[in-house]
A and B are shown apart, each in its own frame.
Chain A
Amino acid sequence: MKRTIVLAAAFALASAHAGDFSQLQRGKYLVQAGDCQSCHTDKNGPPFAGGRAIPTPFGTIYSRNITPDPATGIGGWSDEDFYRAMHEGISRDGSHLYPAFPYPWYTRLTRDDVRAIKSYLDTLEPVRQEIPPNKLHWPMSWRSLVSVWNSLFFKEGEWQPDTSKSAEWNRGGYLVEGPGHCGACHSPKNLLGGVKKGDAFEGGEGENWLAPDLTGRTLGGLSEWSVDEIAQFLLTGANDRTRANGPMAEVVELSTSHMTESDAKAMATYLKDLPNGASVAAKKTADTAQDTARGRALYLDNNCTACHMEDGAGQPGIFPRLKGSAIVQQADPATAIHLVLSGSRAAATDANPNRFAMPPFGGKLSDDDVAALLTYVRSAWGNRGGAVSASDVRSVRKQVIASK
C-alpha cells in the first residue's frame, strides 16, 4: 500500500512534470502528447477547428471543432462535460462519440490532466466553423450502436500504476496507453475495430500504411532497438537505423518531438518492456516464389543504392538501414510497399531539420517489379521477412491511388 502511494505520488508528480509547469503549460504539453491537433485540424484549416475528414470503413467522420467557440466549438462545455467525453466517450448532449476519437485510450488520463487539457483548449482562438455532418453508412449512423461496441471493446478507467515496476515505467505506460494512444494505430483490430485481444501493439493496418509492431518480437519488433534509440526516434524523428516516415512523421513533428527527454525515455522504457508478441509466420504469397536475382537487379538498376547503399546499410542518421530493419521485415509488407510506390518525407524537427525524402517509384515499377524488389530486400543481408506478391502490391497501389 505504501509503495502504491509512493508510486502514485511519484507518478502524479511526474504528471505535474519537471518542476514549474503551470496548469496551462501542462495542458499544452498534454495536448501535444495526445496529438489532438492532428485529427482536429483540417488541411490548411485553422488549428483545432475540426472538419478533417476521417475515413472509416463505415463512411467518413468529420472531426469536431474543439476551439472554445460557443456556437460551433466546445466553448460552452464545463470541465465535467469535457471529462465525460474523454473518459467515457459521451458528448455533452449525452450522445455517444464514435471511437474514431480514441477515448478508449484517453480514458486513462487523470481527471487533473483532463482539466489541464481543457484549460489550455480554453485559451485557443475561438473559431466559428460548422462541421459537415458525418457521412456514415447505415446502421453505423445510429450513434446508439456505439454503446454495443463499448460493451464489447471499451474498458473505461484511469491508468492504474503497476507497483512492481519503476516510476519511470509507469510514467511511460501512462503516456503510451493514455494521451499517446500509440496502440490505436500500432495494434491489430478485429472486424469491428476493436483491438484484437492479446495482440496489443503488434502492428496495425490503416488504409495503406502499416504501423509497425512495437513488441519485443525478434522479427519486426523493437527487440533490437535500445531504450535510447527509441527515445531518440520519438524526440528527433531519427536514429542511426531509420527515420520516421509516413503518418508517424506527423506524429513526431506535432507530438513526440515536443516531449521532454525524460518523458520520451519513460515511453521508450515502457515500450521496450511490452510483452513479446506471438511469432507470426510471414504472410503466404498468392503467387509463385519470386526470383531474388531479379529483385537484386531491380535494387541496383533503380538506384535504391543511391541512398540505401549496395549492402542495404543506408547511411546512419540519414538514410534508413534496410538490413535488419523492423519495418522492412514486418509480416505485413504494406508499409514497405507504400514507401516504394509513393515515397515519403521524413519528420523534420529542430534537432533534425532535414526533411529527407524518398521519391515515389510507383510510376516506374510494375506490381511484379515491386514484389520482386521487396522480396529481395526482405530476404537480403540476413533479413528474414517473407516474400511479397504482385497482388499484395496491387491492393496497396489501389488504396494509394484512391486516397489521392
Chain B
Amino acid sequence: MATKLKSVDAVLVGFGWTAAIIGQELTEAGLQVVALERGPFRDTVPDFSPTQIQDELRYAVRKATFEEPDRETLTFRNDASQTALPMRQLGSFLPGVGVGGAGVHWNGQNWRFMPTDFKMRSHCEQRYGKKFLPDDMTIQDWPLTYDDLEPYYDKWEYLCGISGKAGNLNGTIQDGGNPFEGARKREFPLPPLKRCASTAKFDEAAKSLGLHPFPCPAGNASLPYTNPLGVKMGQCTYCGYCEWFGCANYSKASPQTTILPVLLRKDNFSYKTNATVTRINLDSTGKKATGVTYVDAQGREFEQPADLVVLCAYSLHNVHLLLTSKIGKPYDPVSGEGVVGKNYAYQMSAYVDVFFDEIVNPFMGAGALGQVVDDFNGDNFDHGPHGFIGGGYICMWQTGGRPILQHYLPTGTPKWGGGFKKALKENYLRASSMQIHGGVMSFRQNHLDLDPTYRDIFGNPLLRLTFDFQKNDLDMEKFVTERAVEIAKAVKGNRGYNVRPREGHYGIVEYQTTHNTGGAIIGDSPSNSVINKYCQSWDVPNLFVMGASAYPQNPGYNPTGTVGALTYWAADAIRSRYLKNPGALA
C-alpha cells in the first residue's frame, strides 16, 4: 500500500539534463518542484575527483558510471522472426544513472540539427520525388522548424559554454565554421578548443579535397566561463578521460557544472535519490495524471501527487513508463496503428583509423576535440544518383588514448601474440580515428514495446527493442565512409588507414553510441505522434515528455544539443502558456 505524500506543483521523473533544465525553469516561475532520481546523488567532488576518476577499468570497462542491467535493462531482437533476449551486459549504448544522468558522462559533442532535418520527409519528397523513399520508411516532419528552436539552441549553448566557431551568422557564411549549419543569431559563447596534431592534419587533408572542415562544437570549455545563471566552469585541460567519465575540473558541461549550483539552493526545489518511478498515475478519466508512484531503496512504495508530471527519464525509460502506465496507444508494427514505441531510431557509426608517420599523442584529448566535415550530412549533397537519403558527418576525433579500449591497429593485425604486441607498440602513439557519424531513418519494423517474458526487479515487463539497420542507412553509411577514406588518403604523412565499416546486422554487443531516439515522437496529430509540438502528451495534457524519445527519426548529429533546445522550448511553453491556462496547447 503506497504511502501518499503531500502534493507538489510539479514532479520530474529522473534528474538528468532535461530535469535540471525543467526544474530550473519551473522553479523560476514559482512552482514547488520535486525530482525523483532512481540512482544516487553525484557531484564533482567526491565522485569525479582527479584522485580517482581516470580509472579506465572501473568506469569505462566495468561500466561503473552507467545503469546496471541487473536493475534495469531491455530485451533485443533484430526483427520479429526472432525472440528478443535480454541485454545482459551493456554494450551498444550506455544509459546514465544517478543525478546528472548521461549528462555526466557524455563527450560534449554538441550540435544543432539543420533546417532540412526538421522537414525531412517533405523536403526529400519534394527534391527527389515520393517514390525515392522506400514504403517502409516512416520518417515524419517535425511540427516545428529550425527557426522556432533557434533562440533555444542559443540559450542551451550559452548555458553550457559551448566552444566553437559560427559558420552561419544571420545568413552570412563565416570562415572557420560549418557552412552548412542553420543561421545562428550570435557567435558561440567560447572560442573553439585547441587544435591538436591529428585534427590539424585532418583539416589540411579535407581542405585539399575542397571540403569544409571546422572544429566540432564542444561542451568542453575552452576557457574559464560564467554562464547566464552565474555558474562558473573551469577550462578543459585535455585530460583524455571525457566520455564515460565525470569531469574532475568542472570543465565539461553537465547538470552539475551548469545548473545544479543554482537549482539546489532554491527553497522550492527538492529531489529524492534511490527513488525509482514505476508508474505514472492517472485519474479515472485516464486523461489526467495525478502524480507518480515510486519505490525507494528499501522497496517501500510512495505516491507523489502533482499537478504537473514531466517525464525526464531518458528516451528508452520514457517509452517504457508510458507503456507500463498504459498512456497512449501502443504501436503495432503489423497493423501500423498506435504511436507509443513507434519510430525508434539510432545512429550509424563507422570508422576509418589513420596511422601517421609521427606521434600524435592520442592520450591528450577532450570529448569533443575534433575536426569535422559536414559536406556529406543531411541533404548537403545531391542524393539523386545514390538511391538513399540522409547522411552523416566525418570527424577526426582526439578524445583520448585510454589504452584498454582506445588503441587502433591496422587491419590484419593478429588479435594476440607477438604480432599483436608489436603492432601495439608501433601504432599506439601514431594513430587516430575518424568517425562516420550517420543518421538513422525510421522504419515500420523498428520499434519499442513490452517484452512478453522478461521482467525487471520490480516485476514490470522489460522494454523490448526490435531494431535492425535498413538498406537506406547502410548504403548511406557506406557512401560517406568511402568519402572518409578519400580524406584518409589525403592526410599528409600517413602510413596507411584502416576501415571499420558499419555493415550487416545491428548488434547490442559493440559500443556504438548512446543515441537512442524515438518511441514517443513529436508530431502535428495524435494519430501520428505521442506528444504535440510543445512536448505535451496528446492523451494527458498535464504530462510532458522530454528528451530524444521525441525525435521522429535521427539525423546525422549527436542528439544532446537538440534535446537541450527542445527542453527549453517546452519549458517556455509551459511557463508562458500552460501555467496560465492548463490544458492542451495544440
Contacts and interface: CB of A to CB of B under 8 A. Distances in A.
A–B direct touch, CB within 8 Å, in complex?
A: yes
Interface of A: 302-303, 305-307, 309, 315-319, 343, 345, 348, 350-361, 363-364
B248 A353 contact: no
4 cross-chain pairs, A with B, having the tightest CB-CB distances, nearest first? A359-B49, A357-B45, A303-B50, A353-B261
Contacts of A315: 224, 234-235
B249 A345 contact: no
Interface string B229-243: 111111101010000
Nearest to B260: A353
A305 B251 CA distance: 14
A345 B237 CA distance: 21
A318 B45 contact: no
Contact of B45 (A316, A352, A358): A358
B55 to A, nearest CB: 13
A343 B233 CA distance: 19
Contacts of A351: 230
A247 to B, nearest CB: 18
Of A305, A350, A354, A357, most buried by chain B (CB within 10 Å of CB) is A354
Contacts of B248: 303, 306
Nearest to A357: B45
Contacts of B229: 353
B250 interface: yes
B45 A354 contact: no
B220 to A, nearest CB: 13
A306 B261 contact: no
Contacts of A360: 51
A364 B51 contact: yes
7 contacts: A303-B50, A315-B234, A318-B233, A354-B232, A354-B261, A355-B261, A356-B250
A316 B224 contact: yes
Contact of A306 (B43, B224, B231, B249): B249
Interface of B is mostly: loop
Given A317-B232, A353-B230, A353-B265, 12 more contacts: A306-B248, A315-B224, A315-B234, A316-B224, A317-B226, A348-B261, A351-B230, A352-B232, A353-B229, A353-B261, A353-B262, A354-B261
Contacts of A305: 237
A361 B234 contact: no
Nearest to A362: B51
Nearest to B46: A359
Nearest to B262: A353
B265 A359 contact: no
A303 to B, nearest CB: 4
Contacts of B250: 318, 354, 356
A323 to B, nearest CB: 16
Contacts, number: 64
Contacts of A363: 51
* Residue picked from A302, A306, A318, A360, most chain B C-beta under 10 Å: A306
Contacts of A352: 230, 232
Contacts of A319: 234, 249
A307 B231 contact: no
A91 B226 CA distance: 49
B318 to A, nearest CB: 30
B51 A303 contact: yes
Contacts of A343: 45
B44 interface: yes
A309 B223 CA distance: 13
A contact patch SS: loop
Nearest to A304: B50
Nearest to A315: B224
A258 B468 CA distance: 60
Interface string B32-55: 000000000001111001110000
A359 B232 contact: no
Interface centre among B43, B233, B237, B239 (most CB of A within 10 A): B237
Nearest to B265: A353
Nearest to A308: B249
Contacts of A307: 50, 234, 249
A364 B265 CA distance: 32
A235 B231 CA distance: 16
B260 to A, nearest CB: 9
Contacts of B224: 315-318
A359 B262 contact: no
Contacts of A350: 265
B232 A306 contact: no
Contacts of B234: 307, 315, 318-319
A363 B51 CA distance: 9
Contacts of A361: 51
B226 to A, nearest CB: 8
B44 to A, nearest CB: 7
Contacts of B231: 353-354
A358 B233 CA distance: 14
B235 to A, nearest CB: 6
Contacts of A348: 261, 265
Contacts of A356: 232, 250
A60 to B, nearest CB: 29
A306 B230 contact: no
A307 B249 CA distance: 6
A12 B229 CA distance: 38
Interface in B257-272: 261-262, 265
A309 B249 CA distance: 11
A360 B46 CA distance: 9
A354 B229 CA distance: 11
A253 to B, nearest CB: 11
Contacts of A358: 45
B51 A359 contact: yes
Nearest to A305: B237
A85 B152 CA distance: 59
A306 B239 contact: yes
A369 B389 CA distance: 60
Nearest to A360: B51
Nearest to B226: A317
A356 B43 CA distance: 10
B249 to A, nearest CB: 5
Contacts of B49: 359
A203 B251 CA distance: 34
B375 to A, nearest CB: 37
A24 to B, nearest CB: 22
